[in-house]
Every structure is written in structure tokens, then in C-alpha cells.
Structure 1
């Protein structure tokens, strides 16, 4: 979503509930371009500036680079376009067919190869293939696979979704979630998992960030785009709750939630190769 801007009246304020639902339900969801949300929803950005950080790293890496779960390729394209120089080889994986096509189109001008690969499947590359592996918001980091495809001394640099992200919105629709749902994606747990796979975590930073939804169309589009937030979400199934939320936004000006993000940098030891089967 767009970064917070000076508050201005949403351009769709006068539109009816049904019109807003129809609009939110019709916007294409492929890729990770969130420009449609401009003026209707905002999300504060982490202080580390992930895409810019990756661009800086791309300009210094000497070996091949892999971007895991690249979405529509937008973030990787941004980073490649701003890197001081491009790596000798860049590959990306993506599991959702519409995004595979979009990423291939987006990344073609940068010479990057997009490989279709399911999110929970082993990475389709040989051991020790990459000097740098990146990922923005992977569904679940496969630590042993990341360690396997990294070269000795190689680095994993990623921004992950943290615990209880946007749970104010999720629980509005689903009700209170069990405690284990709130502690999933805990950064310290991920540190332990990464270390168990043979990686050394050299940087781990977490932030909780304000989100605002200024109309119900933005809520609908967000839940259609980020499908794991409210599994099985449809306008028809949640119409009564959507109407209540629409009236709340009309009365209060916006619905506030908080996203959770953490930056992870982990390095594979140069001292010995890691066998993920050990």
C-alpha cells in the first residue's frame, strides 16, 4: 500500500456501499503493485527501506542472485534498476501462475530469469548456486533450502511479515484467533530456525507499522490480494460485516490496523558446507 500522506478526503467518499464493493471486487490482484491504494489506504514503511537496501547489495555482489517468491517482480525490478551494477546472473521463483507471467514480463528488461516453483517445494537449483538470496514477504522461509542453494559466505537478505500482522482487520472478520496464531512468524523463532539450518543471523530488526483503510473498496481489494489474511474471503460471504465496517469508516474516517515486519540478514558459513539432511 502507499505510504502515509497528508490527510485528504478520499475520492470515493460519496460512492455507495454497493458501488465500493463492486469496485474492490473487480480490481486485478496479480503482482505486488499497490499503487491502486493511493488515496484510499496507507501503510507506514519500515525504517530500513528494504528495496533500497537490496539495490545497494546488488551493486556489490559478485555472484549469481536469487529472489524467492518474487510476486510480480516489482520489488526486484526496482532494486535492479537502481543498483550501481547488476549481478552476472539473476533468477527469481514464483508459485502463482498469474504472477509468474507478470514477473517474467516485468523482469525481462533486466535480464532476470523467472522459474515457476511452488512456495513449499524445494528450490529448483543446485547446491551452492547463489551468492545472494533475497525475498520480500515469503509465505514461509524454507531455511534448509535457502542454506542449501547459498554459496559458502553467501547471504540471505529478506523482509518478512511478522507476528499478528494486520490482526485488527483479520479478527474483525474471523473473531479472536488462538494464541499460536499471534506468535507465528516470531522473529526470534525464525532466528533459531535459520541457525538450525546452518546459517548465522547477522542482523534482525522488527517494527510494527500503522495501516489505515479509508474506504471499504480498499478493504475488499486488500483481502482479495493478500489471500492468507482471511482465507476463503468473498464479498458475498462477508457482506454483513463489510457493511458494518463501511459504516464505521464513514463515521470515523478510517479503519486502523498495524502491520508487522522484520528485516533478516543471515550468512552461510565459509568454514564448511552445510548438509541440510544432517
Structure 2
């Protein structure tokens, strides 16, 4: 989400929501929100750090690649690079971006088993996976290999979620906990070598940005449609015009885990 701020609140409510409801939300490119929403970025710089690891890898797998935008931007890919994706529109988009770079894109249902042999990759990466199948990641990693992932943290953007859905129970707010990720990684036989969590300010500057975001990130308000939430959208539009941007907080965590060279050993 960009910072080249443009004021869209001089446009009518209906025009803003109609525009946001009709624009394509394929892929994982949020550039449509430039000037309409802002989001602080995690300090670790996932794309840059992932690219550095790619340059040193021999065989790499990007799980749930989305539209392939992040992987396509890596300057130096390993000799063997593969990406998986489960949503058909994203499979097509990722294929168009990644095939010219020599990356094989595999249509996968995003559930076990991964369609690869044991120990096939020395690097597995994933940016914002919906689910992390730790046992499968451990299986396809070669001894000494690394899993490197940026994930959505607990109660991310829940100010917006709860505006539409009301207060959420603790088990929902506390989901995607990095501590739980550590335990699951270790239970799968991996050693967690880095784990960091950050809370980041996010601002929605007009109601069109809210509609686009909820259409794209479909698990935030499941089944979201403009028609169903029109009254809440209208009230939020008036709030933004009167009080300024709607402020929420994104949470992200970085996790890096290594497969031991031999069972029971980490080096």
C-alpha cells in the first residue's frame, strides 16, 4: 500500500464503492491502493532477505506464491525454482510472470501432501501462507535446508474485521500466534533460528480502499459483498470523511527454521 496520497473523498460514495467492487483483485499486487491506503512495512524486509537466500540456494520452492509477484522480482534465482499456487486465476498469473524466469508453477490444492519428493529443496519460502503444513515442509527440505516465511500475525487488521463482524472470541483473535508456529515447527523436527513479531499502523483513506481490501483478502470478512454490508460501508464512509482515515494495525511475524543435518543434530 503506497504513500502517494490522493484525496478520493471528494467523490460520491456510490462511485467509490462501484469502482472498488468492479476492479480485478487477481494476484497479490496491492498497487491499486497506492494513494488510498498506507501500511507500515516490517523492519526485516522480507522480499530483500528472501532474495538473498535465493541467490545462495540450489533448489527452491515458493509455497502459495499468489500471482508470483514476489518471486518474479528476485534478481538471482537458483538453478531449480518451483512455485505452488491453489487459486486458478493466480496460477495463470504466476505462470505468465514466472515461466519466462525458468520457474515451474505447479497447481496445488494447498493441502498435504506437497507434490515433491523427500529432501527435494534446500530452501522453502512462503509469504503470507493461509496454512503452514509443517510436516510437509520438513519432509521436502533437504538436511541443512531452510524454511523462510513472513506470516500474518494474531488479530491482524482486526479493527476493520470487528467493525463489520463485531467483537471476535479470544480463540479467533489469538490465532496465527508465532509461539504456536514455533511449537509446530519444532514438533515437525525443525530448529527455529529466527522468530520476530511486529505491529504496524495501517490507514484506509477512503471507502473504496476498504472495499478493495476486503474483496482481495477474502478471509478477513468471509463472504464480504458490498450489497450485504452497504449500511456499514455507508456509515464508515461518513466516518472517514468526517474524522479522517480509518486506522487499523497489521501484525506480521518472520519465522526461519532449519532442518537438522542428521536427526537429533542441528549442525
TMscore range, shorter length = over 0.9
Q: Which residue of 2 aligns with 1:148?
A: 139
Give a deviation string over 1:52-79, Cα, whole Å, max 9, x none.
0011111112x21000000000011112
Q: Which residue of 2 aligns with 1:181?
A: 172
Written as runs of structure 1 = structure 2, the 5 A alignment for 1:126-205 is: 126-205=117-196
Written as runs of structure 1 = structure 2, the 5 A alignment for 1:205-216 is: 205-216=196-207
Q: How many residues align?
A: 265
User: What SS does the corresponding residue of 2:32 show, helix, strand or coil?
Assistant: helix
Q: Which residue of 2 aligns with 1:17?
A: 13
Query: TM-score, structure 1 length as denominator?
Result: 0.93
User: What SS does the corresponding residue of 2:162 show, helix, strand or coil?
Assistant: helix
Aligned to 2:242, which of 251, 257, 263?
Answer: 251
User: C-alpha distance in 2, partners of 1:155/1:164?
Assistant: 27
Aligned to 1:65, which of 60, 63, 66?
Answer: 60
User: What SS does the corresponding residue of 1:59 show, helix, strand or coil?
Assistant: helix
Give a deviation string over 1:216-239, Cα, whole Å, max 9, x none.
011000000000000000000000
User: What SS does the corresponding residue of 1:115 show, helix, strand or coil?
Assistant: strand
Q: Which residue of 2 aligns with 1:46?
A: 42
RMSD over aligned Cα atoms: 1.3
User: C-alpha distance in 1, partners of 2:173/2:11?
Assistant: 36
- How far is the alpha carbon of 1:272 from its aligned partner? 2.8
- How far is the alpha carbon of 1:13 from its aligned partner? 2.0
Query: TM-score, structure 2 length as denominator?
Result: 0.97
User: C-alpha distance in 2, partners of 1:100/1:273?
Assistant: 38
User: What SS does the corresponding residue of 1:168 show, helix, strand or coil?
Assistant: helix
User: C-alpha distance in 2, partners of 1:42/1:15?
Assistant: 19
Unaligned runs of 5+ in 2: none
Unaligned runs of 5+ in 1: none
Q: Which residue of 1 aligns with 2:228?
A: 237
- How far is the alpha carbon of 1:273 from its aligned partner? 9.2
Contact 2:112 2:136 in 1 (8 A): no
- How far is the alpha carbon of 1:119 from its aligned partner? 1.8
The runs of at least 4 consecutive aligned structure 1 residues that moved more than 2 Å come to none
